[in-house]
Structure 1
């Protein structure tokens, strides 16, 4: 079945230009060839059912209301060699260190602005810059980013590049573990033939990173909770899974109360003090006293407790100023400025439309570029030039001319591809990789991450809300026996 599979003009994860498997895929390639078509179909069905049975769904919101879906799973894994992974790991830790120093700087001295590296209005005009609420705060470990999800792609030369940083509430970590679980259950004969870095102890590391943020004035065992907006949130499965695996309580705003600037959780035995809140609620809804007065999801007085140093809130408030698409273009400068190093993993080339020269270039080349709204996510308000109509381009041309600083442009990168098995055949699909970085007293990168795949033929959008699916990600161990 793989005979007719061709890499085409793109960089392919599994095969070279002649259609031969790359060395690190060789044994996987040979194993698939021994499985009959009927057996593959059957396994594919079993894998999808496994997700359904475990209730692994997310909600897609559209005009007709919300619909629950399972994330389609594809069994051809993304396999990353140990050597490649070590470079990714170093690159992610470097990036996190610089971004965290940047967040600490702009809520304190703003040296990077004074030194002319980043234009001040990019920070002050950003709706996610919470100067009033966060300025001057001393937070545990000076760490604003407890968990980050960094999206990587590979270009036509197979070079990894950072596509975007998610420093607010990155979701999808639960899928990494579920993809692995399904792979082990449904495809054991493929899985156990490889020596793969394990995911086994990752929750111990995540829990350790979480607990290391306990306020300094707390003695005894700190109490941590995960604050969710509730079951109607599209990532609710993620919240439940992470709370369970870390062994912490899953709470909603109504389960918490603030008294004398201390946060308590209501329990059947009375109130229990809470020291660390891993929140999956956006800044705006955290505390009706300090942000939106109409928020029913948050906890009144939470910010007072935070400012007094009586509770840690993770990820930090106001992180959104560092991960929007306009600030993204400056991350390489942050790395040079704060760490005096060159970026290990580069950005995708980005055009800034507030610069008149770049703006002119972009308006003349709309059909070749990807245009993104700096505030949008999930693949919304985006123009993919080569796939667009004349009409769509003129709509975007108007939008860009009206508010140039609201958009950035990037070349249409020939995203790398990998085989996907859907509807009884293998065909090439575009992939990206979300890498999760946990930060506490030290920084730790989850080995592998969430490989997302654009399952619609020819599509470039890997987002699950727009028809994308997931794959297991294998990081090959340095020799030795399989221990996954």
Structure 2
């Protein structure tokens, strides 16, 4: 069913009522498949996800926090040509962010040049001054980056960058497996680029940054444990990569600042740690002394260059939404190139003129906390009452540096199976960019998140959004 709002770009239907080329075969399938078949297949998918343990914990909710993320059985389709354009832009962007992180923990040339204000760095809670002068193995900071994008009027623009511990890749892989099991006939109608090699690519990139290349590097996945919302993903990726899943007590650091894993065959040296623990809890000796999740002495081993940690300690400074504004300038400064991917126009509360604009146009803007994530703490002006806007403005007024605002984007829509049948719903996209000593690789596709409620622009899983399989077609 085409989108009735002609101001919103629909990825399947062109404005003249014709179907876009990438969706031609999918249209026939949608028209010839009874709604009852879709409902039955969706139930089968939910059974499969529960059997695999693909659940998502939502903190702060009463009752059992484990629930399924809604899965939409109608795939999203991207052309090979469109993907190549996006791929070049993502690689360029992540190279610039890696250069920024290396610089900001060294000479801070971008600050000296006046491109990024020093006060933004100093005020950033995720910036760790103690890491200045510490060079990670192979000088790679952002080994795994999630570049969140939305399609507006047919072009993809970047909403934010995730280079701390981006999650969601297990859902990308799980969605593809489910789709192939449920609708094998649909795959026979399309030539779809594979995503199942992601774990192999991740393992290769992690091994490439090992400080010890004289033998096969040992990689482990460090998890805070089974009560973490993304624990399934930690266990899933460790299993798919063929590496050990460990918790803090499974590791120790000896007097030579070398990290070891406790095993039944004695201590085994660890070269690379893919950590899914926040910086503050990594090492009680260096950061939060009350942490029981991390490894005492780990930062010392990292400083000594005896272990690689992915992603690097202190990356959160580049996740900051105030830093996001300057990524296009990073591309120009470090790479000497014009940015391929555009940012969303952003107003910063710390700038007097921008703050006035935010106040005068609050009901037309989306306002976010600079350090926020997961869709929490944001205001969607057009969907809020006057009273809600007034209350939110008081928060901005009390801490203007803590907020940014963006125009309410007309996010593209994709066909989605909902209660009343197949209907357009808003989507975003998180591709995963892998960086190592041997270069950058990007698995074609990514995690498409979909707002299951009609008209909603909030796609975050923590806010009730769902996911769908993302297809990149072969040419």
TM-score strictly above 0.5: yes
1:314 aligned residue (300, 305, 310) = 310
Q: Give me the whole-angstrom Cα distance separating, in 1, the residues matched to 2:314 and 2:87.
A: 25
8 Å Cα contact 1:277/1:312 also seen in 2: yes
Unaligned runs of 5+ in 2: none
- The CA distance in 2 between the partners of 1:446 and 1:295, in whole Å, is 35
TM-score using structure 1 length: 0.96
Between 134-143 and 105-114, the greater mean CA deviation after superposition: 134-143
Aligned: 1:33 with 2:31: yes
Give the alignment of 1:350-389 within 5 angstroms.
350-389=346-385
The equivalent residue for 2:395 is 399
CA contact (8 A) 1:195 1:476 kept: yes
For 2:230, the equivalent position in structure 1 comes to 235
Alpha-carbon distance change, 154 to 438 in structure 1, aligned in 2, over 3 angstroms: same
* Cα distance in 1 between the residues matched to 2:185 and 2:399: 55
Q: CA deviation at 1:193?
A: 1.0
SS in 1 for 2:415: strand
Q: List aligned pairs for 1:320-335, cutoff 5 A.
A: 320-335=316-331
Whole-Å separation in 1 of the counterparts to 2:328 and 2:113: 16
User: Residues 65, 142 of structure 1: CA spacing in aligned structure 2 closer, same or farther, 3 A cutoff?
Assistant: farther
Number of the residue aligned with 2:21: 23
The answer to whether the Cα contact below 8 Å between 2:224 and 2:276 also exists between their aligned partners in 1 is yes
Structure 2 counterpart of 1:461: 458
SS at 1:169 equivalent: coil
Structure 2 partner of 1:125:
123
Residues 214 and 447 of structure 1: is their aligned pair in 2 closer, same or farther, counting only changes over 3 Å? same
Counterpart position of 1:481: none
Per mean C-alpha deviation after superposition, the further-off stretch among 441-450 and 419-428 is 419-428
Aligned residue number for residue 282 of structure 1: 278
Residue 201 of structure 1: how far off its partner (Å) = 2.5
In the TM superposition, what is the alpha-carbon distance from 1:18 to its structure 2 partner? 3.8
1:169 to 165, 189, 213: 165
Q: CA RMSD in A?
A: 1.2
Is the 1:173–1:450 Cα contact (8 Å) retained in structure 2?
Answer: yes
Which consecutive residues of structure 1, in runs of 5 or more, have no partner in the other structure? 479-484
1:7 touches 1:16 (CA, 8 Å); kept in 2? Answer: no
SS in 2 for 1:87: helix
TM-score with structure 2 length normalisation? 0.97
Residues 48 and 19 of structure 1, relative CA distance in 2, 3 Å threshold: farther
1:322 to 1:238, Cα distance in 2 relative to 1, 3 A: same
CA deviations 1:72-95 (Å, max 9, x no partner) are 111221111111000110000000
> Which residue of structure 2 lines up, in the alignment, with residue 223 of structure 1?
218
Q: Which residue does the alignment assign to 1:42?
A: 40
Instruction: Tell me what 1:135 maps to.
Output: 132
The number of residues matched between the two structures is 473
Q: Give matches, 1:163-202, under 5 Å.
A: 163-202=159-198
| 2:389 aligned with 1:390 | no
Please give the alpha-carbon distance, in whole angstroms, between the structure 1 residues aligned to 2:269 and 2:315: 26
Could you tell me whether the CA contact under 8 Å between 1:146 and 1:438 is conserved in 2?
yes
The 2-side partners of 1:58 and 1:277 are apart by 24
Kindly indicate whether the alpha-carbon contact (under 8 Å) linking 2:3 and 2:10 is maintained by their aligned counterparts in 1: no
> 1:263 offset after TM fit, Å?
0.8
2:110 aligned residue (112, 117, 120)? 112
Distance 1:277 1:211 in 2: 10
CA distance in 2, matches of 1:287, 1:371: 34
Which shows bigger deviation, 54-63 or 446-455? 54-63
SS at match of 1:270: coil
Shift of 1:219: 2.5
Tell me the alpha carbon deviations over residues 273-305 of structure 1, each in whole angstroms, 9 at most, x when there is no partner. 111101000000000000000001000000111
1:5 touches 1:19 (CA, 8 Å); kept in 2?
A: no
Deviation at 1:5, TM superposition (A): 5.9
Question: C-alpha offsets along residues 368-416 of structure 1, whole Å, 9 cap, x if unaligned?
Answer: 0010001111111100000111111111111111111100000000111
Alpha-carbon distance between aligned partners in 1 of 2:6 and 2:404, rounded to the nearest angstrom: 29
- Cα distance in 2 for residues equivalent to 1:463 and 1:277: 28
- Runs of 4+ in structure 1 over 3 Å off: 4-8
